Amino acid sequence: NEWIQRAELIPWHTLERSYARMFPAKVGNVAKPLRMVLGALIIQAKKQLSDAKLVQELTENPYLQFFIGLPAFQSKKPFDSSSLVGFRKRLNVAFMQEANALILSALEEVNDGAPLPVETKENVGTEILDATCAPSNVRFPRDTSLLNEARTQLEGMIDWFHKQYGFEKKPRTYRRVAHKEYLAFAKTKRPGAKKIRATVRKQLGYVARDLRYLADYMQDGYALAPKFTNKYLIITQLVAQQQYMFDHHTHQVDHRIISLSQPFLRPIIRGKAKAKTEFGTKFDVSLDTNGFARIEKLSFDAYNESTVLEEAVENYKERTGFYPERILVDQIYRTKKNRAYCKEHGIRMSGPKLGRPAKEPQDKQISQQDNADRIEVERFFSLAKRCNGMGLIMTKLPETVMSSIALSVLVTNLFALPTGTFFVLYVV
């Protein structure tokens, strides 16, 4: 069975020692073993199951029970589905990257084919570097819908104040009028710019009025419930951004909030045919000669990928002891600074050189081969997004979103290679 074969490839005992460092205290309930925690998350990412469905699968499948380390088949649930949230928080992105490195080290020890000629060359091997975005499961952010959601949440806070402190009369919020106006706009198939701006102006007015009511309550000494504090600060920032864009007739603002439930997400400009803009987490991935992937940078904010190249190359040297002979990247990485860095360390960067195009057939053949080999990272992204949960991140917290992406990379590495004979993608 595939799950039994994959379980043999993972160094569980080494990972267990790293996992044990998270529990310095000797009191409290005994934590679930790492094999059960990490194994369950690997199964969930590979099969793309919900928390409840995962527990059901673990209860019914003996091979999956072996993968998570149970000594024998049992019909009892190994844990409750609510425990998975704690598992994802515990195994953060740092631990996932450490686990990925340990698993790859174990796989490289098994892979004894096509040895690299370290003693004959100063630079050996190939590194591929590229960036992508892992979209999160959020509604498409429209200014009108964000303001309407903020208005309804502020009205809930006002209702809480009156219920908690026993105020006699509620202030006038015009919630029915505001809801009716928003529904009329939402039912419009193709609203024009004037109608959109008019709706935003009205919703801004309703939200600003509710914020003034709440500010008056707190100024009079009434405290807001802790469960509302973070949401109140997020809405205040959202209204400030929307008011700035409305006043300046623009649709751009720094650190723009696109979701009230996940305010850490930012719009990522991709320029792809499918979606010009994606809403999720941007990250860089490097592939080594064996086709193993590692995350080089992970960020909720947009950034220029070219700044990652030097660090990725230095990480390659730290792992292997030498610089790569060639690095395969797309055009955005080929800055003058990166070209000078690669030239200084004897690394051949893919792509055309500065100046006139080369006329030698050998140079064209090398360029074509580089382009063909660079497709490997696109294949990795496609596999991770289609089969291993990276195509739509369902978690909601910032730490669990990042750990889910790192887990997808780990699972793609684990299942990308055959369980029998290992191989090297390309040797330079």
Are both 164 and 309 inside the same structural domain? no
Residue 98 placed within a domain: no
Q: What is the CA radius of gyration of the chain?
A: 26
Are both 271 and 390 inside the same structural domain? yes
Are both 38 and 51 inside the same structural domain? yes
Are both 401 and 292 inside the same structural domain? yes
Residue 157 placed within a domain: yes
Identify the pLDDT of residue 30: 80
326-328 and 266-269 strand pairing = unpaired
Are both 67 and 203 inside the same structural domain? no
CA 382 to chain centre: 15
Identify the pLDDT of residue 187: 94
For 249, the token pair is: 């007739």
9 neighbors 106 (Cβ within 8 angstroms): yes
Identify the pLDDT of residue 428: 45
202 neighbors 145 (Cβ within 8 angstroms): no
What φ, ψ does residue 238 adopt, rounded to 5°? Answer: -60, -45
| Chosen domain end from 248, 280, 304 | 248
Distances (CA, A) of 362 to 10, 23, 359, 367, 369: 43, 58, 9, 9, 11
Are both 220 and 319 inside the same structural domain? no
Identify the pLDDT of residue 259: 95
Are both 210 and 272 inside the same structural domain? no
Residue 76 placed within a domain: yes
- pLDDT by position in tens, the chain (length 428): 889 999 988 999 999 998 888 887 777 778 889 999 999 999 999 999 999 999 999 999 999 999 999 999 999 999 999 999 999 999 999 999 999 999 888 877 665 544 444 454 588 889 999 999 999 999 999 999 999 999 999 999 999 999 999 888 889 999 999 999 999 999 999 999 999 999 999 999 999 999 999 999 999 999 999 999 999 999 999 999 999 999 999 999 999 999 999 999 999 988 776 778 899 999 999 999 888 999 999 999 999 999 999 999 999 999 888 999 999 999 999 999 999 999 999 999 988 887 777 667 667 788 888 889 999 999 999 999 999 999 999 999 999 999 999 999 999 999 886 554 444 454 44
Residue 103 placed within a domain: no
Residue 100 placed within a domain: no
Identify the pLDDT of residue 362: 66
| Chosen domain end from 248, 276, 296 | 248
Residue 110 placed within a domain: no
| Chosen domain end from 180, 214, 248 | 248
Give the CATH number, domain containing residue 325. Answer: 3.30.420
For 311, the token pair is: 């660090």
For 352, the token pair is: 């055309």
DSSP assignment of 219-263: HTTPPPPHHHHHHHHHHHHHHHHHHHHHHHT-S--TT----SSST
Which residues, at least 6 apart from 425, have a Cβ–Cβ distance to it below 8 Å?
Answer: 289, 290, 291, 373, 376
Distances (CA, A) of 142 to 257, 272, 287: 11, 20, 37
Are both 22 and 132 inside the same structural domain? no
Question: How far, in Å, CA of 255 to CA of 266, rounded?
Answer: 7
What φ, ψ does residue 94 adopt, rounded to 5°? Answer: -65, -45
266-269 and 277-287 strand pairing = antiparallel
| Structural domains of the chain, count | 3
Identify the pLDDT of residue 422: 44
Are both 205 and 275 inside the same structural domain? no
Are both 298 and 380 inside the same structural domain? yes
Identify the pLDDT of residue 114: 47
Are both 316 and 204 inside the same structural domain? no
* Domain of residue 203, residue span: 143-248
Are both 269 and 238 inside the same structural domain? no
Residue 415 placed within a domain: no
